[in-house]
Structure 1
Amino acid sequence: MKTVFPILRLSLLGAMLALGPMAAVQAKTPADQLIVGMSMVNLFSIDPANAPGLDASGVNANLYDTLIKRDQGNPEKHLPQLAERWEISEDGKQVTFHLRNDVKFHSGNPLTAEDVAWSLYRVMKLNFGLATTWKAYGYSVDNIQALIRATDPHTLVVELPQPADPLLLIDSLAISPSAVIVDRQEAMKHEKNGDLGAAWLVTNEAGSGPFTLTKWSANDSLVMTRFDGYWAGPAKMKRVLVRHMTESQSLRLMLERGDLDLVYGMAAPDIKAIESSPKLQVQPLQRGTMYYVAMSMKQPEFANQKVREAVRNLIDYKGIDEQVMPHYGTLNQQPMQLGLDARLPDPGYKMDVARAKALLAEAGYPQGFTTTIRTLSEPPFIDIAARMQSTLAEGGIKASIVTGTGNQVYGAMRARNFEMIVARGAERYPHPYFSLRTFVYNPDNSDSAGLPNFQGWRASFFDQQLNALIDQAGVERDASKRVSLYHQAQQRYDQQVGPIMMLSQMTDTAVSAVDVKGFTGDDAEATRYLGVYKQR
């Protein structure tokens, strides 16, 4: 199938003009401004209540703050941010956070515990996909205001509505894209028809982070300007400009000639070509996000377990890993991140066309069938899809590739309106419980449940026994028993031939000019530019 790619606008004239009159004629980027090149095709909203994507997380990490954050070197340890300290009650049912008293939003409004409580209520009230994180703990729009409340301007009490490990809740407050704190007064100034500022916050912000949003033009550019009143001290860069660029060779060319300072998404051949350059530096960034192939069990073909097993035998895992994924990801066939103690070894799936054909015949499809594969029109997604199209055809499954924007591709999956998809998704964070809940858990398989943050719900996969194993693991205090439950869950998913088939764990690669210092990519795609500077 012929895929048509969008024409890339290479000129940075408009962007440079936005940065000031001298920027357009300088051979190098300005010393106090960071110019970033990356694809923003999946950036369609920065509203914290409805911005689950990696790109949005990276932007919002610079516009907003959270109560606490993970220690990047030790993901099981949490560090103060807006909360200076916190205590867990003896019975594990309540966590009390004590907030800083010197934080102001970009609007000038003081940040209070009431803003924190309202931000989490807002997520539940709007009920987009990210509300699933809090629903999992038992919160609802009816109980959250009573259970998460401010007792004074700088004290927040969080009660758990049902038995759960309080450390899991603390982890969610540190890492969930929906856990950032929104300026209640500013958002409500823009409320329309009871939307709590939702329409406005799609393209605007109301945060307290180290940068403010100056301008965002979808699929073109995004500009963030330093917030000099930031509680942790002002950022070193005056401005960060992100340019939407999807073509790897253009990223490389513009980085080499000094038009860009930092790029993401460069293809493997271009990374290899510049690895030895004394003017550039390459930083691999291990991510927790997974690349996968998913089938909708709403489709009669994929509701058949033998068909799903046939597809599993028509995936060229080895070829994809060796020829498509270098600098993009590392082979992973489990719905759990590499390196976790609870993760079982890969089951060793491999391509077996004869076995696939036999399974299809047993399922009643001896001549195969036709289907579609949705994906983004950028590497490695389109390359995985093209290889899938070829190997599926060997088994008799004729697949057409349908490309689109991030909203079109992922939107169809969130609406449970797809056949097959090559995608990349959460869980981004290193914890077996969150990984399994994200990829294989589905508490309610009805369309009306509206649980798009569960990948299992998106694919219409439901297994009560598997749900029970994950639920038990979430409250089990004995470490060995908890690991055993995680092992059983992985084995059960393998036996059921779950429709979301993992291919690879994401590895991102950032390439920057050698004079860019202080940049460290975060494992949660929430890279903060607070400490980045240029050594000139």
Structure 2
Amino acid sequence: MSIFPSLWARVLVAALTVTAVPATFAKTPADQLIVGMSMINLLSLDPAAATGLDVSEINANLYDMLLVQDVAQPDRLVPALAERWEVSEDRKTLTFHLRSGVQFQSGNLLSAEDVAWSLQRVLKLNLALASTWKAYGFTAENAERTLRATDATTFVIELPRPTDPMLVLNTLATSPSAFILDRKKVLEHQKNNDMGAAWLVTHAAGSGAFALNDWRANDVILMSRFDGYWGGPAKLKRIVMRNMTESQSLRLMIERGDLDIAKGMSAPDIEALQKSDKVRTQTLQRGTLYYVALSVKQPMFADARVRKAVRSLIDYQGINQTVMPHYGVINQRPLPLGLAARLPDPGYRLNVEQAKAWLAEAGYPNGFKTTIRVLAEPPFINIASNLQSTLAQAGIEASIITGTGNQIYGAMRERSFDIIVGRGGGGAERHPHSSLRTLVYNPDNRDEAKLTNFQGWRTSFYSPQLNQLIESAEVEPDASKQLAQYREIQVQLDQQVGAILPVSQMTDTVLVYADVVDFQGHTAATTRYKDVYKQR
């Protein structure tokens, strides 16, 4: 979207040139929030195609969802566009009752038809974010039947196959695909039946508290307050997001007061600013895990005793104390911290002598040679270097191979690797199945199955017993029985020595200038700025 050049000039003069002002006078405008963050992975704003934490936060301010996770208690789901919802006794139907009178930023009134069309669109376009919905049995062919409006304020989901309705509700509250679009506005810009896909790469059509004014790729995003917002107007007039990739620049500018919020800073710069009374830190727990993954296609790692040896050659405590501050916190389970179903950590520690004994029992008394693939950026490369050192103590000689995300995770998707230090999991959905489906479940271990969305398949780790337990727990209606099943899965996974060995759970640290009030980052990366203001 374009805005008048004069407005751009006023905003940029006020918000972007304050770096020329001496530090004692540097201040961002009182009615604007200036955010410094990396935008290099921001390729599209289309909710059907946009992946990544940064775009989720942007779209959370441009669009609304039916329901959201409570920012203070993520396990609690609270109303948004839907005032209330019900789940049928047979757990097959979810019915949502929408707020009346909600306006899109275009002036169009929101209806249940917009909700149905938005979710159907995700499946019909079949882009990256359709995968979660397809895991529940939704398809482009059944979308109109299973995701439908029954009247202007009632939206119904008919589950195509048995699953836990709470899992679907959590997806609606967190997935970047679950933002609701202004159907009429989008279709005005449709070309060649693309359902507005080309236009929505750089535009927005939502009902959120802020409207998109302009996005200059790898430069600036400008959003202005939507005064007709159903929840009342935001306290700030404008949000300006600047593309900043250098941690030291972020550190300098937020310390001077040239930025209100800084994201993506390195651990040393964060630690330096923790001593400043001008800035405070806020650490956000994410649902993904840093892990060491082993390919069971490799003969040595097909032996559970060798996997057990590697598990004993990870210095969990050392890595989390020296490498992971501001990146993650120790977690040795496949489930995110805080879930009721998650068992306490099993207490794995670096134990070289025990690892040597298991290697000798497996026929590798002198170790072997292998490779570790890893992104050439912290903390991944740091974890890999630490692992290389501890593996060597038991005779395992591991060469490190660095590369881009496509190269490293591409090798994993092709099942052509030895060891990978990576990150993955269920993300923001507060449900055990989400992580287990991603990290453990592997219903078809054949190469030609190409189940690349399942990281368990990528490792070639195949356990019919665990598959059956995961499938059973997903559809178990009795909450106490389901809880017991999820705990049993963790016990069995420990005994079978899964091929993905969790090391740490991801955290993000955000730096906030002292006069910013009511900024509360969201664990689901759907941080909303509606109630943020400055106290001056």
TM-score between the two structures when normalised by the length of structure 2: 0.87
Tell me, yes or no, if the aligned pair for 1:330 and 1:506 is still in contact at 8 Å.
yes
Q: How does 1:234-273 map to 2 (within 5 A)?
A: 234-273=233-272
Which sections of structure 2, spanning at least 5 residues, go unmatched? 1-7
CA distance in 1, matches of 2:370, 2:489: 32
- Cα distance change, pair 210–199 in 1 and its aligned pair in 2 (3 A): same
Deviation at 1:322?
0.8
Q: Count residues in correspondence.
A: 520
Deviation at 1:247?
3.9
Residue identity opposite 1:338 in structure 2: L
**Percent of counterpart pairs with the same letter?**
59
User: Could you say which residue in structure 2 is the equivalent of 1:287?
Assistant: 286
User: Could you say which residue in structure 1 is the equivalent of 2:230?
Assistant: 231
- Cα distance change, pair 129–66 in 1 and its aligned pair in 2 (3 A): same
CA distance in 2, matches of 1:110, 1:418: 52
1:21 aligns with 2:13: yes
Which sections of structure 1, spanning at least 5 residues, go unmatched? 1-15
CA distance in 1, matches of 2:105, 2:414: 35
CA distance in 2, matches of 1:209, 1:448: 43
User: Could you say which residue in structure 2 is the equivalent of 1:432?
Assistant: 432
User: Could you say which residue in structure 2 is the equivalent of 1:492?
Assistant: 492
Residue identity opposite 2:502 in structure 1: M
- Cα distance change, pair 372–504 in 1 and its aligned pair in 2 (3 A): closer
CA deviations over 1:290-309 (Å, ceiling 9, x no partner): 22222344556545544433
User: Could you say which residue in structure 1 is the equivalent of 2:3?
Assistant: none
- Cα distance change, pair 143–300 in 1 and its aligned pair in 2 (3 A): farther
Residue identity opposite 2:465 in structure 1: Q
CA deviations over 1:269-298 (Å, ceiling 9, x no partner): 433333342222222323333222223445
SS at 2:510's partner residue? strand
User: Could you say which residue in structure 2 is the equivalent of 1:172?
Assistant: 171
SS at 1:318's partner residue? helix
Q: How does 1:470-489 map to 2 (within 5 A)?
A: 470-489=470-489
CA deviations over 1:22-78 (Å, ceiling 9, x no partner): 442452222222122234454444332233422222222112211111223333432
CA distance in 2, matches of 1:254, 1:130: 35
CA distance in 2, matches of 1:393, 1:219: 42
- Cα distance change, pair 301–323 in 1 and its aligned pair in 2 (3 A): same
1:277 aligns with 2:276: yes
User: Could you say which residue in structure 1 is the equivalent of 2:350?
Assistant: 351
User: Could you say which residue in structure 2 is the equivalent of 1:126?
Assistant: 125
Residue identity opposite 1:442 in structure 2: N
Residue identity opposite 1:439 in structure 2: L
Residue identity opposite 1:172 in structure 2: T
- Cα distance change, pair 232–92 in 1 and its aligned pair in 2 (3 A): same
Runs of 4 or more off by more than 6 Å in structure 1?
Answer: none
SS at 1:509's partner residue? strand
User: Could you say which residue in structure 2 is the equivalent of 1:7?
Assistant: none
User: Could you say which residue in structure 1 is the equivalent of 2:459?
Assistant: 459
Q: How does 1:195-206 map to 2 (within 5 A)?
A: 195-206=194-205
User: Could you say which residue in structure 2 is the equivalent of 1:386?
Assistant: 385
CA distance in 1, matches of 2:122, 2:396: 45
CA distance in 2, matches of 1:300, 1:219: 45
Residue identity opposite 1:512 in structure 2: V
Tell me, yes or no, if the aligned pair for 1:521 and 1:527 is still in contact at 8 Å.
yes
1:515 aligns with 2:507: no
User: Could you say which residue in structure 1 is the equivalent of 2:396?
Assistant: 396
CA distance in 1, matches of 2:252, 2:37: 13
SS at 2:139's partner residue? coil
CA distance in 2, matches of 1:532, 1:352: 48
CA distance in 2, matches of 1:295, 1:92: 38
Residue identity opposite 1:329 in structure 2: G
Deviation at 1:196?
3.4
SS at 2:335's partner residue? coil
RMSD value over aligned CA atoms? 3.0
Tell me, yes or no, if the aligned pair for 1:130 and 1:178 is still in contact at 8 Å.
yes
Deviation at 1:334?
0.2
Deviation at 1:223?
3.3
CA distance in 2, matches of 1:201, 1:417: 36
SS at 1:21's partner residue? helix
Residue identity opposite 2:138 in structure 1: Y
- Cα distance change, pair 360–76 in 1 and its aligned pair in 2 (3 A): same
- Cα distance change, pair 286–144 in 1 and its aligned pair in 2 (3 A): same
